[in-house]
Amino acid sequence: MYNPATWMLEVSSIAAEVRLGMDFAEYYKNSALFQRNKALVKELSTPPPGANDLYFPTKYSQNTWGQFTSCLWKQWLTYWRSPDYNLVRFFFTLAAALMIGTVFWRVGKHTLTTTNLTMVIGAMYAAVIFVGVNNCQTVQPVVAIERTVFYRERAAGMYSAMPYAIAQVLTEIPYVLIQAAYYSLIVYAMVSFDWKVEKFFWFFFVSFFSFLYFTYYGMMTVSITPNHQVASIFAAAFYGIFNLFSGFFIPRPVSNIQILCPFRPLASIC
């Protein structure tokens, strides 16, 4: 099929210049058409007498709330239409929950010794870190792609950085909430922890906010690095440091168990 655009690219290519023995740019520069276009640009660049300069009372077309609602709607559609991101992390969380529940099947009923209690809490800690690191890694390419769009739309005066950042943060909450909910239900039931509302709440609370801050950490690493490849390397340093300084267990007699760990509420489920 004949394509005028393709034909124009062919006849104006470097190969065509070599074949004709001429420089198209130099030929246009010396032509009368170039002189007329140059004169027209100069004429239109000078405002007519009495004309006023363009003035806009605000830098952006909408106020802060309007920018936020637009960004939130945009982010919600983006996440809803990104199954390759959300479904992957949901499936990974489901697999991790089933794996942890299978390996530590009903160990929550055996917490009368320090060794058993340490094993249970250590398993829960490792499971939360495992899923959290996956959240951090999977969110980085998504944020990196969105950042390119953000640069273009901010330059066009559509919205500023703050409404965009807040909308991006809030969009993650419902997805992480669902992720933490079924993860907590599966692991809590399979490990056979004590079914009390306050104990399950603490387990869900720790899981939800751990997944959330790992996700936000992944966003932050992308925002301060040039691309998500560098962000992955930068984030990897945090994983080791966090595990090194996150806390440790001191074995004590059963009557006086002291746990030094930022995930202290996990001890209350036993």
CB 248 within 8 Å of CB 216? no
Q: Does 24 map to a domain?
A: no
CB 129 within 8 Å of CB 206? no
**DSSP letter at 109?**
G
Q: How confident is the model over 128-178, as pLDDT tens digits?
A: 888 888 899 899 988 888 888 888 888 888 888 899 999 999 999 999 999
Q: Does 131 map to a domain?
A: yes
> Does the pTM of the predicted model rise above 0.85?
no
Q: Does 30 map to a domain?
A: no
Using 50, 70 and 90 to split pLDDT, how confident is the model at 267? very low
Q: Smallest Cα–Cα separation from 232: which of 243, 223, 242, 222?
A: 222
Q: Which two tokens stand for residue 226?
A: 């040039």
Q: Smallest Cα–Cα separation from 199: which of 188, 190, 191?
A: 188
Q: Show contacts of 78-81: CB within 8 Å, 24+ apart.
A: 78/146, 78/171, 79/171, 79/172, 79/175
Using 50, 70 and 90 to split pLDDT, how confident is the model at 265? very low
pLDDT confidence of residue 250: 52
Q: Give the total number of structural domains in the chain.
A: 1
Beta carbons within 8 Å of 172's beta carbon, 6+ residues apart:
79, 139, 212, 215, 216
Q: Does 210 map to a domain?
A: yes
pLDDT confidence of residue 264: 47
* Domain hosting residue 258, numbered range: 64-269
pLDDT confidence of residue 7: 61
111: buried, middle or exposed (CB in 10 Å: 19+, 13-18, 0-12)?
Answer: buried
Q: Does 73 map to a domain?
A: yes
Q: What is the mean pLDDT of residues 207-230?
A: 90
Q: Does 28 map to a domain?
A: no
- Gap between the Cα atoms of 209 and 89, Å rounded: 16
Q: What is the mean pLDDT of residues 15-42?
A: 88
Q: Smallest Cα–Cα separation from 194: which of 111, 133, 259?
A: 111
Q: Does 26 map to a domain?
A: no
- Gap between the Cα atoms of 67 and 69, Å rounded: 6
Q: Does 56 map to a domain?
A: no
Question: Comparing 24 with 37, which gets the higher pLDDT?
Answer: 37
Beta carbons within 8 Å of 235's beta carbon, 6+ residues apart:
136, 137, 140, 217, 218, 221
